[in-house]
Amino acid sequence: MPMLNVSGLSKRFGALRAVNEVSFAVSEGEILGLIGPNGSGKTTTLKAALGLVPFDGELKVLGLDPRTQRDELMQQVCFIADVAVLPRWIRVCEVVDFVAGVHPKFDKAKCERYIAHTKLSPRMKVKEMSKGMIVQLHLAIVMAIDAKLLVLDEPTLGLDILYRKQFYQNLLEDYFDEEKTIIITTHQVEEVEHILSDLMFIRDGKIVLSATMDEVGERFTEVMVPSEKVESAKSLKPIDERQVFGKSVLLFDGVPRAQLAGLGETRNVGIADLFVATMKGTYA
């Protein structure tokens, strides 16, 4: 059974189509990166899946409809929908006790173990913490919940690089296994690309790319072409071109690597470069 099955999902805000007839599926064990510019509809898509907004079309999470079966769904699904949304008045011990009280799949001892690895103390209030510490606490809670699906919407926005690295490292080392599924949206593409198994680009409410990371590696090739070969390289229709130290770096989609090798040095494209190439003209 797919974790998430979306077909013909649409969401309008007045005249604006935030999400426009989107279809995709996510299966167990994937770490999917949902990447898109601001206002592209990725947060709305996730909110629809979490039963936070009404929508049109078909959407099933673990076979449940988030519009009508949200309460059951939340037993299986966990999410961090924004940075530092823990209530400011609560203490570490209170929030842990509370979640232990209401969540049947929460492992309190595990959570306390994660917290012990941080500078958080049980009597500390959220309003006394830095943004990074709040995220540490939130992550400790979320990782102690044995949910099948974890949705992270910009979980590290505004954190410094130490907290960001640690966040993804903890997630990968202490939380993820083949029975779990994670969906992440973020603008810090470079930091998640090595942990993703699947990638999806979304633009203006439509999916413009959906592939596994292996497929991305096979399909896209970046070639550093010396100036004398640029003309012949351009005949192969690169999807992007930029200049680095007087050389042209061309990005090809679907051209066999053997064919490109003759033009210059080939390498796998970074997600960030691929993203920029794909989204060209978004804000124009």
Partner 1 sequence: MNTMKWLVKREFWEHKGGFFWAPVCVGAIMTFFLAATLFVGVAMGSKHGIHINGNVVTDLNGFMSAKDKAEFASGLATGYMGMASPMFLVLGFVVFFFCLGSLFDERKDRSVLFWKSLPVSDSATVLSKLAMALAVAPLITVVVATITAVVSMLLICIAAATMGLNICGQVLTSPSAYIAPFQVAAILPVYVLWALPTVGWLMMVSAWARTKPFLWAVGVPVLAGALLSWFNAMFDFNLNMSWFWRNIIGRGLLSVAPGSWFGLTDVANGLHANENGADFGSILAQSWQVLATANLWIGVAVGAAMIYAAIRLRRWKDEG
Q: Site residues (CB under 8 A) for partner 1?
A: 47, 50, 52-54, 70-71, 74-75, 78-82, 85-91, 94, 97-99, 101-104, 138, 142
Q: Which is nearer to partner 1, 93 or 224 (CB)?
A: 93
Strands 220-225 and 149-153: unpaired
Q: Is the CB of residue 185 less than 8 Å from the CB of residue 35?
A: yes
Which among 79, 36, 69 is positioned nearest to 183, based on CA atoms? 79
Q: Which is nearer to partner 1, 136 or 266 (CB)?
A: 136
Least distance (Å) between residue 128 CB and partner 1:
15
Q: Which is nearer to partner 1, 25 or 85 (CB)?
A: 85
Phi, psi of 176 (to 5 degrees): -70, 135
Copy the structure tokens of residue 65: 């409809």
Least distance (Å) between residue 202 CB and partner 1:
18
Least distance (Å) between residue 232 CB and partner 1:
50
Least distance (Å) between residue 231 CB and partner 1:
49
Q: Which is nearer to partner 1, 80 or 200 (CB)?
A: 80
Q: Which is nearer to partner 1, 71 or 228 (CB)?
A: 71
Least distance (Å) between residue 69 CB and partner 1:
11
CA 123 to chain centre: 32
Least distance (Å) between residue 58 CB and partner 1:
19
CA 232 → CA 134, 222, 236, 260, 262, distances in Å?
A: 54, 15, 7, 11, 11
Q: Is the CB of residue 270 less than 8 Å from the CB of residue 213?
A: no
Side by side, which strands form the sheet with 247-253?
240-244, 247-253, 220-225, 265-268
Sorted by sequence, the CB contacts under 8 Å of residue 15 that are 6+ apart come out as none
Q: Is the CB of residue 247 less than 8 Å from the CB of residue 225?
A: yes
Q: Which is nearer to partner 1, 71 or 173 (CB)?
A: 71
